[in-house]
Chains A and B, each alone.
Chain A
Amino acid sequence: MSGMVVIRHALALCAAGALLGIGANAITPKPAPLGSKVVASADAPGAVCQIQGLQAAIPRISVEEAKPLCVACSALFVDARSAAEYEAGHITGALHLSPGDAVDPVLWRLGVYKTVVVYDRDPNCSVADQVAKKLLEHGVEDVRVLTGAWPAWSAAGAPGTPGSCASCGPGPTASSKGAP
């Protein structure tokens, strides 16, 4: 019985608090925009993988910085998206490596390049971060995550095809791990 009373009080406080908060929001100096959508920082226009004020665990690289690395073949790009997404289109010459894939079979390829750039589909880069972390744990030294991910890369008109980069060595993964 007492428990029900406490629960009723909690619900009453919750309702009163919610009403107070929503009602008083307008008189705060910078109110939350009720009635408008509020998107995550990573989804905002011009977003990058790193939220302002936070130090990213994995170093970032912008599309502008990464594009010449692809053309000059001085970096290996790693696609952390699903196999289907990779098949639909990926950065030219990119290796496909999902978070659940083993790193060891492709480690020899990663070691050839000075820099490894990981990207995924989501501008918050959470999947790319997971793969990048795995690569760092396997001893790959210079691993970066592409800010803006695949959407930013393709929007910038940077090289992206289902084929492999002519000067970036053999096809990415088809022969070695069964990926496209």
Chain B
Amino acid sequence: MRRALVVASRLALAAIFLYAAASKLPDMAAFATDVANYRLVPEVLVPWTAAAVVGIEVVVGLALLTGVYARGAALLAAGMLLVFIAGLSQALLRGINLRCGCFSSDEPADWWTVLRDLAMLVPAIVVLTLRPEARSHDAAPRPEDEDHLGRISTRY
């Protein structure tokens, strides 16, 4: 049950991040303008930030999809979502009228987009905190594993 929950969360988050990246790739210049509209990043760094964000979304999506470094990817996804939530919230509180920039559409930024990002934190936290697979790439070695290895090492 726990394993199913983690896998479902991982795949759902992977799909969201890959879709978000894929929707931005056709027009990176427009996404850079969306980033600029948040007025959080110096103008000269805006295009670099936009390109980096999309690249990170791709890598996070692929890591979550394959399960390689899944918990690290979930941590990174949660961090990104928190940054997005902070960015959206400050823009809304400052009364800046802007596109969300979340996906390719002209979706305006509003409190629903903030809630949606908050909801996306749930699967990220599930993947980050629940560890169903002992052989996961980034699962911590259990004490019994360490003991086992320890015994082996003393034999050789």
Residue ranges of A at the interface with B (Cβ–Cβ < 8 Å): 1-2, 5-10, 12-14, 16-25, 28-42, 49-51, 53-57, 124-127, 129-130
Q: Contact between A54 and B97 (Cβ–Cβ < 8 Å)?
A: yes
Q: Contact between A21 and B52 (Cβ–Cβ < 8 Å)?
A: yes
Q: Contact between A39 and B52 (Cβ–Cβ < 8 Å)?
A: no
A130 interface neighbour in B28, B30, B95, B99, Cβ under 8 Å: B95
Q: A13-B72, A40-B37 known; A22 and B96 CB under 8 Å? A: no
What are the interface flags for B63-101 relative to A under an 8 Å C-beta threshold, 1 for contact and 0 otherwise?
100000101110110010000000000000011111100
Q: Contact between B138 and A6 (Cβ–Cβ < 8 Å)?
A: yes
Q: How many interface contacts (CB-CB < 8 Å) are there between A and B?
A: 153
Contacts of A34 in B (CB 8 A): 47-48, 51
Q: Contact between B71 and A6 (Cβ–Cβ < 8 Å)?
A: yes
B75 interface neighbour in A7, A37, A56, Cβ under 8 Å: A7
Q: Determine the distance from Cα of A53 to Cα of B59 in the docked complex, in whole angstroms.
A: 30
Contacts of A36 in B (CB 8 A): 47
Contacts of B108 in A (CB 8 A): 54-55
Q: Determine the distance from Cα of A35 to Cα of B44 in the docked complex, in whole angstroms.
A: 7
Q: A17-B56, A31-B28 known; A38 and B71 CB under 8 Å? A: no
